[in-house]
Structure 1
Amino acid sequence: MIISYVQGTKLTFAYEHHGPTTGAPVILLHGFPYSPRAYDEIAPALAAQGYRVIVPYLRGYGPTRFNSPDTLRSGQQAALAQDLLDLMDALAIPQATLCGYDWGGRAACIVAALWPERVRGLVTGDGYNLQNIPGSIQPLDPETEHRLWYQYYFHTARGVEGLTQNRRAFCELLWRLWSPTWARNAERYPLSAPAFDNPDFVEVVIHSYRHRFMYVAGDPALEWMEEALAKQPPISVPTISLCGADDGVGPAPEADEDVEHFTGRYERRVLAGVGHNIPEEAPEATIKALLDLLKADLLKG
């Protein structure tokens, strides 16, 4: 595994590259609390078919670093999307097929919604991942609120200190809770855990979970994007949504509640026996979804 670096406007991105640089670009995006290790079985398989595969470390993870100590360590959704655009620009990628889940899925969905010309196709974990921040004041049903306990914990000073002192144990607990039927948690978690030692990890994570409930301000330069996202714009690019039937934080409902947000070619696939860590738990299903989009796009010309 070789890590490369490229400088963007706010970050120096660390990323893993697979396949020929001349291949059609595919960008694979991890979530919280995960890492590029989620795509260990996926990136080489796509590269073997001639695709240029980029697997970045998100802000606050692994060797990715902020360029300035004065930059807000924001974890808001608009910052993640802007990072993806900056990475594509820094690597001179005008258009790519995107795959992401959790935070990475949010970045991919936002870019697909607001900059559809930059996206050939989208594989999204758990459907429409744009946060409805103005609506966050409305309570959810008690079972859903219970599953979101960690978010409310992060709203407190105790939560900040808890994540600071126990980041590896805390994130391992989330892995087990969110992928309760996956037999490889204990085997795979140690491969991703070092990515959480990034010096900005805690600050970015805390900001993310406070901003989405309007408890902290975001980056003023990104306010225009947050205003656009508050309108819940549709996604028009060809999309396949992969949902884990055993997801411990957001189990897939029987009815597709996101279909109205997709105006282009769209398909939802519910994966039995799969939790929140979709690409790592279900690499074959993820590869198939990507290739179904890529091959269809190729045939379309």
Structure 2
Amino acid sequence: MADVSGADGSDTGEIKEGVVEANGLEFGYLAAGPASGPLALCLHGFPDSAHTWRHLLPELAAAGHRAVAPFLRGYAPTAVPPDGAYQTGALAADANALHEVFGGDGDAVLIGHDWGAMAAYAASASAPGRWRRVVTLAVPPMGALLETFFAYEQLKRSFYIFLMQTPLAAMAMTDDFVAGLWNDWSPGYGGAEDAARFMRCMASPAHMEAAIGYYRAMLDSSGHLPRYAAEQEAAAKRGERPTLYLHGASDGCLGADTVFGDRSELLARLPADSRAELVPDAGHFLHLERPDEVNRRVLDWIAVR
């Protein structure tokens, strides 16, 4: 196990940076809280970075958790993966490997937003013994996502996914385009600083291609490596660990009207004893728009034994 204790913040919630190797890849990460506390692993999405958890990490630390937010594979300072795998199963394998490296046990909790939510579903389903409780934000389980994806209004919102399949994707990913996604997905929030942080994570053309690769792996399974087959299969299954699903009522990326059109069906896709809740006056980046509200719901959920 790597020595990562020196990069953790104290129980005062100070956020510090660190680097660790997991699943054959060097990960940069942010961390806060006591090294002896139960692990709370926080996974970001697109077009975002580990800094997205800047409001939650200190609160998790104050509650006694060792809160860790890695930069996902291909997002600098994390390395571009030499295996070129960006399937959900690879993201899940990373999460479970980070659990191991940070000394997590069965009391660990997993929190994910956007692509981080997809990774959290797969990681907790493939290795339920590693995680006690799960929180996901903004992207429902795969079954529920597919049911809503082909609604006409949702297809219009999802234009960027189809753009990612073209050779023009990297050329289109300008500062202006990324800022536009933030403005559309979280109307009124003003995510210029967060968009700029994402662009800094795209430190090279290879890093930008990595971020695009997540979307290409959605629609093209030819790049799925067999080593992640178990985690990939788990991504489509209903997990075992109770999950709190939070969605912004004004989400401009994945419409709340489609996701919550049939709440009973959404709950049926989540593990037993799960909950699905709308957060009012919030869009796709609800944890940044309504940090106090979202933090309270997250902390209340993971406190349940």
TM over 0.5, shorter chain: yes
Change (3 A) 1:16 1:199: farther
- Large movers: runs of 4+ above 4 Å: none
Matched residue, 2:118: 106
Matches within 5 A, 1:150-165: 150-163=160-173
Give the whole-Å Cα distance in 2 for the aligned partners of 1:125 and 1:118. 20
Matches within 5 A, 1:93-242: 93-95=104-106, 96-126=108-138, 128-130=140-142, 140-163=150-173, 166=174, 168-182=175-189, 184-197=190-203, 200-214=206-220, 216-229=222-235, 232-242=236-246
Question: Which secondary structure state, in structure 2, belongs to the residue aligned with residue 65 of structure 1?
Answer: coil
Computed over aligned residues only, the root mean square deviation of the Cα atoms, in angstroms, reads: 2.4
Question: Which secondary structure state, in structure 2, belongs to the residue aligned with residue 43 of structure 1?
Answer: helix
Change (3 A) 1:191 1:213: closer
Matched residue, 2:284: 276
**Of 70, 74, 84, the match for 2:85:** 74
Cα deviation, residue 203, structure 1: 2.0
* Residue identity opposite 1:237 in structure 2: R
Question: Which secondary structure state, in structure 2, belongs to the residue aligned with residue 285 of structure 1?
Answer: helix
Contact 1:238 1:293 (8 Å CA) reproduced: no
Matched residue, 2:301: 293
**Of 248, 251, 259, the match for 1:247:** 251
* Residue identity opposite 1:238 in structure 2: P
Aligned residues: 286
Structure 2's unaligned 5+ residue stretches are 1-14
Give the whole-Å Cα distance in 1 for the aligned partners of 2:278 and 2:202. 29
TM-score when normalising by structure 2: 0.85
Give the whole-Å Cα distance in 2 for the aligned partners of 1:290 and 1:132. 22
Contact 1:2 1:16 (8 Å CA) reproduced: yes
Cα deviation, residue 139, structure 1: 7.5
Contact 1:179 1:246 (8 Å CA) reproduced: yes
Change (3 A) 1:209 1:6: same
Matched residue, 1:48: 62
Structure 1's unaligned 5+ residue stretches are none
Change (3 A) 1:216 1:210: farther
Matched residue, 1:23: 37
Contact 1:109 1:128 (8 Å CA) reproduced: no
Cα deviation, residue 236, structure 1: 2.2
* Residue identity opposite 1:85 in structure 2: N
Identity of aligned residues (%): 28
Q: Which has the higher contact order (CA 8 A, sep 6+)?
A: 1
